[in-house]
Chains A and B, each alone.
Chain A
Amino acid sequence: MRDLSLHLMDIIQNSIVAMGTRIGVTIAANLKSNELKIIVADNGKGMDDDMIKKVTDPFITIRNTRKVGLGISLFKASAERSDGYLDITSKKGVGTTLEAVFKINNIDRPPLGDVADTIAGVLASNESLHLTLTLFRDDDMFSFDTVEVKRMLDGVPINEYEVLKWIKDYINEGINVTFGGVLNEINS
């Protein structure tokens, strides 16, 4: 994976496969601790303790077309390479929360990438999903919520081309305002 937004897309797909209907994505930069946190929380079917332990193993997957499952393993490797970690909490029937932490200044931290494209891409084919994106720079917050968007759209599908384009622009602006000057790949 070239950047964090691709990992994010992959993890969101996991939530969708797990029948999540509500997915909350948080990306938070904490300047004091030099940490960038990416959290994906869903209300999908969840996992038991046994599965949580095994899920970062590349040779574990729920699929039966092949024997490897690389998504979470790759994300974990990426976090650990940049002096961070990956943590999963899950409860069967309640949902799963995955948290990946990166050291912002670590030379091996992948760039953030095009988060707006990831979110718009997911919404393009999952229009009924309730998706939120919350960005933090310390206490400064930006939020995007499909419920608010849908209220404004009043029946027009969220995956109309023009709507997705607006969503991309809106999120990109949020990314620039929130992370400009903090993540050196983002121009403020």
Chain B
Amino acid sequence: MKSIAELEEIRKKALDKMGVRTNTEGYRIVVGMATCGIAAGARPVMNAFMEELNKREVKNAAVTMTGCIGVCRLEPIVEVIDPTGNKTTYVKMTAEKAVRVVTEHIVNGRVCIDLTIGSEDKK
């Protein structure tokens, strides 16, 4: 049986890790999590973002959720807002694409153009 006392250990570990967190300014990853997003599979996408950020020890990115972004036919939709405030809207996301966005966009600063709403609308 798991017990709530196990949190004590996790707390200690987390405190150690938090010490190395350098700045609060960073990327914001916003996942659309309204009825349309959830039905289209936004939850696994959000999970993939959190897992990949943890795996790569990315400290300057936070994952949050929001309601309907307004283009339900393109869900799951994820907005990535960089530290300067520029917003990139990724559409028809999957867990695999989320991993790519973390690697290319969040870590290396290159927008995944082919996954954006702009490139989807040209199809």
Q: Is B2's CB under 8 angstroms from A66's CB?
A: no
Are B7 and A166 interface neighbours, CB within 8 A?
yes
Main secondary structure of the interface of B (DSSP, over half): helix
**Which residues of B are at the interface with A, using a C-beta cutoff of 8 A?**
1-2, 4-8, 10-11, 13-15, 17-18, 33-36, 38-39, 43, 46-47, 50, 53-54, 63-65, 67-68, 70, 72
Task: Check A153 against B11 for contact (C-beta < 8 Å).
Answer: yes
> Is the pair A163, B14 in contact by a Cβ cutoff of 8 Å?
yes
| Residues of A contacting B18 in the complex (Cβ-Cβ under 8 angstroms) | 156, 160
The answer to whether B7 and A74 have CB atoms under 8 Å apart is no
Tally A residues with Cβ within 8 Å of B.
Answer: 33
Q: Is A46 an interface residue (CB 8 A)?
A: no
Asked if A55 lies at the interface with its beta carbon under 8 angstroms from chain B, I say no
Contact B2 A13 (CB under 8 A): no
Contact of B14 (CB < 8 Å), options: A9, A156, A170: A156
A41 vs B121: C-alpha distance when bound (angstroms): 40
CA of A118 to CA of B64, assembled, Å: 14
Chain A positions 1-54 with a Cβ under 8 Å from a chain B Cβ: 1, 6, 9-10, 13, 17
Q: Closest CB of chain A to B102's CB: distance in Å?
A: 14
B38 engages A9 (CB within 8 Å): yes
Given A17-B67, A152-B11, A10-B38 contact (CB < 8 Å): yes
Top 9 A-B pairs ranked by shortest CB distance? A152-B7, A125-B64, A71-B35, A161-B54, A125-B65, A156-B14, A65-B70, A160-B14, A156-B11
Docked pose: A169 CA to B50 CA in angstroms: 16
Asked if B67 and A124 make an inter-chain contact with CB atoms under 8 angstroms apart, the answer reads: no
Asked if A141 is an interface residue, CB under 8 A from chain B, the answer is: no
- Min CB–CB distance B25 → chain A (angstroms): 17
Contact call A152/B47, Cβ cutoff below 8 A? no
Please determine whether B65 and A1 come into contact, CB atoms closer than 8 angstroms: no
Q: Which B residues touch A161, using CB under 8 A?
A: 50, 53-54
